Chain A
Amino acid sequence: MASPLRRSKRKNPVIRTRVPQLPPMARSRIFLGLTSAAARGVFELQVCRECGAIQYPPREACHVCLSDGLDWKEQSGAGQLVAHTMLRHAMENYFRERLPWRLGIVKLDVSDDLRNPHPAPSLIVHLHGDCPEPPAPVRVFAMLDRSGQAILVALPEKDTPHMTDDLQMREMTCDPKFRKSLVTDGKSPVGQAVVKELIKAGSDLVWVGEAAPWKKIPGWDEIKALQDVTVVDLDVTNPDSVRRCAAQIGQKVDILINTAEQHRAYRIDGRHGTENARAEMEINYLGLLRLAQEFGPVMRSRAADTEINAVAWVNILSIYALSNNPNQSTFSASKAAAHSLAQGIRASMQQAGVRVINIFPGPLDVEWNQELRPPKVSPNALAREIVKALRGGAEDVYPGDIAKDWYKRWREDPKVLERELAFAD
């Protein structure tokens, strides 16, 4: 059984901070299909459209019938551990610094697909310490490793106590347990929910940004009174404020969750002038840019700092970032800008192995969505999804039924979705 993670001692400031090393990142283009699915938390393998054979490693043609009709399809991941090893030597620094490291080879079960007569492939996987000796049933998942590429991980057939504390698992996840988090705006309903959820998840300390101290907000006093909460001045529209905050706590933040948001629900002609659109861009886009410029470098430098390291940057975007919702046009545009920037932040943070998690919720159940009919995502549900994402191996999350539905339509054909949205009331 994985032993429960213990809170590490304060780091001796004289000791050199370990420089981040990454697992090997290079992959063939065809392999990136696996990464694409893992990025949204799904384990997919190529399946032959003609003969049903499952392929792994990814291929350009079916190894049974040579068809090039290979479709990425979700797999249950159930399989049998055939053999295992404990690496005690590695050529790559990332692994050298983390030895010993357990690997396994798993034969997937395909018994549920009677149409497919072909044997399932064997998968080489990162093997969780709680998986018994082979032969043994295991569950295979695709997760992103610190290089941002998909890697296969086998977990025990049933959850075990403290399994998320396994040190190999901690390398694939961004678990808030014992980590210090910054929630950039703690006054909004979403911010408050995220703070509570982080504390529940074992976050060591939560810094909570407050932009406008004079504002009386329901629930704020309760948040401030929480034992693990420290309120910090942070106004993402103010460059000095962001810089001061980063100077004060930047070198300690392990997880940054940007909850600062300006949200108004107007059509293009619902408001005269650009003042509202400017405010949305100021917070949703430029605010994110300011945070990235001030907190990005220092978080990257701490990406391998002991087991309690800088691991994640979470952006709360909107499903409207993918396609403009004409009823909330300027808001959608600001989120599209933020999404584009978040991709850039991801590429930059990736160099150190800090994961950028983008959350694309459907409409939230907050005041500016009052007129929308359900389903709407409650702030608490959103906060739970964020923590779940931190504990998982994905980087893109679509919380709520509407987000999932839009995302599916967008993947199928962005133009069709654009028309559907234009004609919706």
Chain B
Amino acid sequence: MSRRQPYDGIVVTTPVSVPYVRFSTKGAHWWIGRALATLVEDSGLTKEQFDGVCATSMSLHPDTAVGIVQHHGLSPRWLDHIPMGGVSGIVAMRRAARAVQSGDANIVACIAGDTNHIDSFRQGLENFSQFGKDAVYPLGTGGPNASFAFLTDYYMREYGATRKDFGKICVAQRDNALAYPHALFKAPLTLDEYMSARPIADPIHLFDCVMPCAGAEAYLVMREEQSVDLGLKFARILGTIERHNAFADDPIQYRGGWAVDREDLYGMADLTPGDIDFFETYDDYPVINMLQFEDLGFCDKGEGPDFVRRHTMTTDGSFPINTSGGQLSVGQAGASGGFLGIVEAIRQVTGQALGNPVPDAEIGLVGGFGMISYDRGVCSAAAILAAGR
């Protein structure tokens, strides 16, 4: 039994995605502006009614959420900036939910938006963190590729995963992406193509890596009765967790913070992994999917490869994951990558999927993982959303 206060009466609505592009000549403020405008349009609210704002972006420098409200003419009474990359979507939601619950804000607009110029990705890597700048970037790593190559290499060696197992994940996600209109990858991916892709950092090959791009994602957090009044479909928040710098003494990352807190997550939701209808994993590399399967209780540590072999992961499969294609097929629009799963989960449980719906999707799990600093991802988070009715 969880001792945490439930998010009763607090809902998430209005899933927004601003279609991604590989490179953009626009600034991050443009992408955030489009997300805000779409939130206004889809919700029927005015921007003045957003009295809470929670924003994230990796290409906004030197601005923060403060710059956003001035730039876009907002005047919220509650403002938060979540510079946490891949967990920002979940962390934003759980903070916004508490703000609304306590009455500090009525309607919180949660927004992630990032641009991508030609050299943005490299510049982002160069200046990602002090540890990265001191102890990884100078080794020629080209960003998280090498860090994930290490942990994929270790995971394969230790638990017997093969490239084909990772390939199966990537191929299933691509199948899902083919129905999702905003995915940057529009051609099917075969396992042969996956296997014969060019190596990037052994054992990571091209289709194990996400493509950096520009895009934005957003949603609103409000009270259930407001959502009903506005006629907005909504999802309930059954449980959330976040954890940072877990298992720091592990010589290499083979588990994430989810393993610390998963009892809390399911306890709060009063559910078990068996109740989950679909899972939006954080998928910046497929090995992280396997870590989430294990650490969020779908199988034991080391059984990830076998779990993948036993299941089909398309929207109509036995274990649907990343139903819009995930970052691997949609693209990684900076911090929007941390919002992609939650926005898609809202759509799935509210019957608004832009691509293929998961049949009878009632309960969705979302994973977040972020901020690859030095040798590992520092942040992890998860949330369970349910159809609101």
Interface size in chain A (residues, C-beta < 8 A): 40
B189: min CB distance to chain A, Å: 19
Q: A28-B133, A89-B200, A119-B249 are in contact. Are A82 and B154 (CB under 8 A)?
A: yes
CB neighbours (8 Å) of A86 from chain B are: 199, 201-202
User: CB within 8 Å of B: which of A56-90?
Assistant: 56-58, 63, 82-90
Map CB proximity to B onto A346-384 as digits: 1 under 8 Å, 0 otherwise: 000000000000000000000000000000000000000
Tell me if A339 is interfacial: C-beta within 8 Å of chain B: no
Q: Of B133, B138, B145, B201, which is in contact with the most chain A CB atoms at under 10 Å from its CB?
A: B138
Q: Mark A75-115, 1 if CB is under 8 A from B, else 0.
A: 00000001111111111101100000101110100000000
Q: Which of A10-18, A19-27, A219-227, A390-398 is the contact stretch? A: A19-27
User: In the complex, which residues 146-178 of chain B have their Cβ closer than 8 Å to any Cβ of chain A?
Assistant: 146-147, 149-151, 153-154, 157
A210 at interface, CB cutoff 8 A: no
In the complex, chain B residues 189-214 whose Cβ is within 8 Å of any chain A Cβ:
198-204
A83 touches B153 (CB 8 A): yes
User: Which listed residue, B138, B143, B151, touches A151 by the CB 8 Å rule?
Assistant: B138
Query: Do A90 and B153 form a contact, CB below 8 Å, given A26-B126, A28-B133, A105-B252?
Result: no
Q: Is the pair B134, A84 in contact by a Cβ cutoff of 8 Å?
A: no
B375→A85 contact, CB < 8 A: no
Contact with B along A21-51 (1 / 0, CB 8 A): 0011111100100000000000000000000
Q: Per DSSP, are chain A's interface residues mostly helix, strand or loop, or mixed?
A: loop
Neighbour of B153 across the interface among A24, A58, A85, A122, CB < 8 A: A85
Complexed CA–CA distance, A177 and B291 (Å):
48
- From known contacts A28-B133, A82-B150, A105-B150, infer whether A57 and B374 are also in contact, taking CB-CB under 8 Å: yes
Q: Are B142 and A87 in contact (CB under 8 A)?
A: yes
Does B140 belong to the interface (CB within 8 Å)?
A: yes
**Does A126 touch B at the CB level, under 8 Å?**
yes
Q: Give which listed residue, B141, B153, B154, contacts A87 with CB less than 8 A.
A: B141
| A124 interfacial by beta-carbon distance below 8 Å | yes
Residue from B134, B145, B150 in contact with A89 in the complex, judged by beta carbons closer than 8 Å: B145
A118 to B140, CA, bound (A): 30
Contact B138 A27 (CB under 8 A): yes
Q: Given known contacts A24-B138, A83-B157, A105-B375, is B251 in contact with A88 (CB within 8 Å)?
A: no
Select from chain B the residue with minimum beta-carbon distance to A108: B251
A83–B200 touching, CB < 8 Å: no
B125 at the interface (CB under 8 A from A): yes
The reply to whether A85 and B150 contact each other, CB–CB distance below 8 Å, is: yes
| Interfacial chain A residues near B122, Cβ < 8 Å | 91-92
Residues of B within 8 A of A23 (CB): 138-140
Contact A58 B134 (CB under 8 A): yes
- Please give me the residue from chain B that is nearest to A133 by CB atom: B157
**A203 interfacial contact with B, CB 8 Å:** no
Number of A-B contacts (CB under 8 A): 122
Among residues of A, the one whose C-beta sits closest to the C-beta of B205 is A88
B248 an interface residue at 8 Å Cβ cutoff? yes
Closest to B204 in A: A85
Check: B136 CB closer than 8 A to any chain A CB.
yes
- Inter-subunit contact A95/B133 (CB<8 Å): no
Residues of B within 8 A of A24 (CB): 126, 133, 137-138
Q: Which of A26, A101, A124 contacts B375 (CB 8 A)?
A: A124
Most buried by A among B131, B133, B140: B140
Question: Is A325 in contact with chain B by the CB < 8 A criterion?
Answer: no
Inter-subunit contact A107/B251 (CB<8 Å): yes
Contact A89 B201 (CB under 8 A): yes
Q: Is the CB of A31 within 8 A of B153?
A: no
Kindly list chain A residues whose C-beta atoms are within 8 Å of the C-beta of B130.
28, 57
Residues of chain B within 8 A (CB-CB) of A104 are 150
Is there contact, CB below 8 Å, between B139 and A31? no
Q: Which residues of A contact B143 (CB under 8 A)?
A: 91
Residues on B with beta carbons closer than 8 Å to the beta carbon of A28: 130, 133-134
Please measure, in the bound complex, the distance between the C-alpha atom of A87 and the C-alpha atom of B138, giving whole angstroms: 13
Interface residue? B135 (CB, 8 A): yes
Judge whether A134 is part of the interface by a CB distance below 8 angstroms.
Answer: yes
Contact B146 A103 (CB under 8 A): yes
Q: Is A185 at the interface (CB under 8 A from chain B)?
A: no
- Say yes or no for A259: interface residue by CB 8 A criterion: no
In whole Å, how far is A292's beta carbon from the nearest beta carbon of chain B? 27
Name the one of B138, B141, B154, B374 contacting A145, with C-beta atoms under 8 angstroms. Answer: B138
* Bound-state Cα–Cα, A124 to B154, Å: 14
**B136–A124 touching, CB < 8 Å:** yes
A31 contacts which chain B residues (CB < 8 A)?
134-135
| Chain A residues within an 8 Å CB radius of B204 | 85
Residues on the B chain within 8 Å of A126, using CB: 139
Residues of B within 8 A of A151 (CB): 138-139
| A332, CB-defined interface residue at 8 Å | no
List the A side residues contacting B134 at CB < 8 Å: 27-28, 31, 57-58
- Residues of B with C-beta under 8 A to A82: 150, 154, 251-252
Residue of A nearest to B140 (CB): A95
**Are B201 and A87 in contact (CB-based, < 8 A)?**
yes
Instruction: Known pairs A83-B149, A85-B204; list 16 more (Cβ under 8 Å).
Output: A24-B133, A56-B135, A57-B131, A83-B153, A85-B146, A85-B149, A85-B150, A87-B141, A87-B200, A88-B200, A88-B202, A103-B149, A105-B252, A107-B252, A124-B135, A124-B141
| 6 A-B pairs (CB sep. < 8 Å) | A26-B133, A84-B150, A87-B141, A91-B143, A92-B142, A105-B251
Q: Which 9 A-B pairs have the closest CB atoms?
A: A95-B140, A85-B149, A57-B135, A107-B251, A83-B150, A83-B154, A91-B142, A31-B134, A83-B153
Interface residues of A (CB under 8 A from B): 23-28, 31, 56-58, 63, 82-92, 94-95, 101, 103-105, 107, 118-119, 122, 124-126, 134, 145, 147, 149, 151
